Amino acid sequence: MRAPRVSIIILNWNGWKDTIECLESVYRITYPNYDVIVVDNGSQDDSVQKIKEYAEGKIRVNSKFFEYNPENKPIKVFEVSEEDAKRGRFNKPLYEKYDVDRRMILIKNKKNYGFAGGNNVGIKFALSVLNPDYVLLLNNDVIVDRDFLNTMLSVCKKNDKIGIVGLKSYTYRTNKLRRLPKAIGVLEPNVIETEYVEGSCFLIKSDVLRDVGLFDTRYFLYYEETDLCARARREGYRVVFVLNSRIWHKVGASRPSTTFIYFITRNWFLFVQKNYSKTRLILSFGYYMTITVPRRVYTYLIKHRSREEFKSFLRGFLEGLRFFGF
3-state helix, strand, coil in the chain (%, to 5): 45, 25, 35
pLDDT at 226 over 80: yes
Cβ(194)–Cβ(241) under 8 Å? yes
The verdict on 130 and 94 lying in the same domain is yes
- Amino acid 253: pLDDT: 52
pLDDT at 280 over 90: yes
Q: Mean pLDDT over residues 225-252, rounded? A: 95
The verdict on 309 and 169 lying in the same domain is no
Number of domains observed in the structure of the chain: 2
Looking at the domain assignment, is residue 1 inside a domain?
no
Residues 206-215 have pLDDT tens digits of 999 999 999 9
- Amino acid 256: pLDDT: 82
The verdict on 43 and 171 lying in the same domain is yes
**Hey, how many other C-beta atoms are within 10 angstroms of the C-beta on 186?**
11
Q: Quick one: what percent of the chain has pLDDT higher than 90?
A: 94
Residues 90-109 have pLDDT tens digits of 999 999 999 999 999 999 99
Residues 150-171 have pLDDT tens digits of 999 999 998 999 999 999 999 9
Give me the phi and psi of 115, to 5 degrees please. Answer: -65, -45
The verdict on 229 and 294 lying in the same domain is no
CA–CA separation, 311 and 326 (whole Å) = 19
The verdict on 22 and 170 lying in the same domain is yes
**Hey, how many other C-beta atoms are within 10 angstroms of the C-beta on 159?**
13
pLDDT at 180 over 80: yes
How far are the Cα atoms of 30, 212, 222 from residue 271, in angstroms, in the given order? 37, 15, 10
Task: State the angle between helix axes of 307-321 and 258-275 in degrees (0 to 180), rounded to the nearest 10.
Answer: 20
- Domain of 228, CATH number, reads 3.90.550.10
For 206, the enclosing helix (H) or strand (E) is: helix 206-212
Give the mean pLDDT of the chain.
96
CA–CA separation, 27 and 128 (whole Å) = 24
Q: Which residues pair with 106 in a beta bridge?
A: 38, 79
The verdict on 212 and 85 lying in the same domain is yes
- Amino acid 325: pLDDT: 86
Phi-psi region of 249 (alpha: psi -120 to 50; beta: other; left: phi over 0): beta
CA–CA separation, 237 and 117 (whole Å) = 23
- Amino acid 83: pLDDT: 98
Residues 34-84 have pLDDT tens digits of 999 999 999 999 999 999 999 999 999 999 999 999 999 999 999 999 999
Phi-psi region of 89 (alpha: psi -120 to 50; beta: other; left: phi over 0): beta
pLDDT at 254 over 90: no
Of 219, 249, 279, the domain-final residue = 249
Q: 3-class DSSP state for residue 90?
A: coil
The verdict on 175 and 199 lying in the same domain is yes
- Amino acid 199: pLDDT: 87
pLDDT at 251 over 90: no
The verdict on 96 and 236 lying in the same domain is yes
In the chain, the amino acid numbered 105 is: I
Residues 237-250 have pLDDT tens digits of 999 999 999 999 99
Looking at the domain assignment, is residue 183 inside a domain?
yes
CA–CA separation, 221 and 41 (whole Å) = 13
Cβ(92)–Cβ(130) under 8 Å? yes
CA–CA separation, 131 and 153 (whole Å) = 17
pTM for this predicted structure? 0.94
Cβ(51)–Cβ(58) under 8 Å? no
The verdict on 245 and 277 lying in the same domain is no
Q: Mean pLDDT over residues 241-263, rounded? A: 88
For residue 150, the enclosing domain spans 6-249
Cβ(106)–Cβ(77) under 8 Å? yes
The residue count of the chain comes to 326
pLDDT at 252 over 90: no
Strands 238-249 and 162-171: parallel
pLDDT at 326 over 90: no
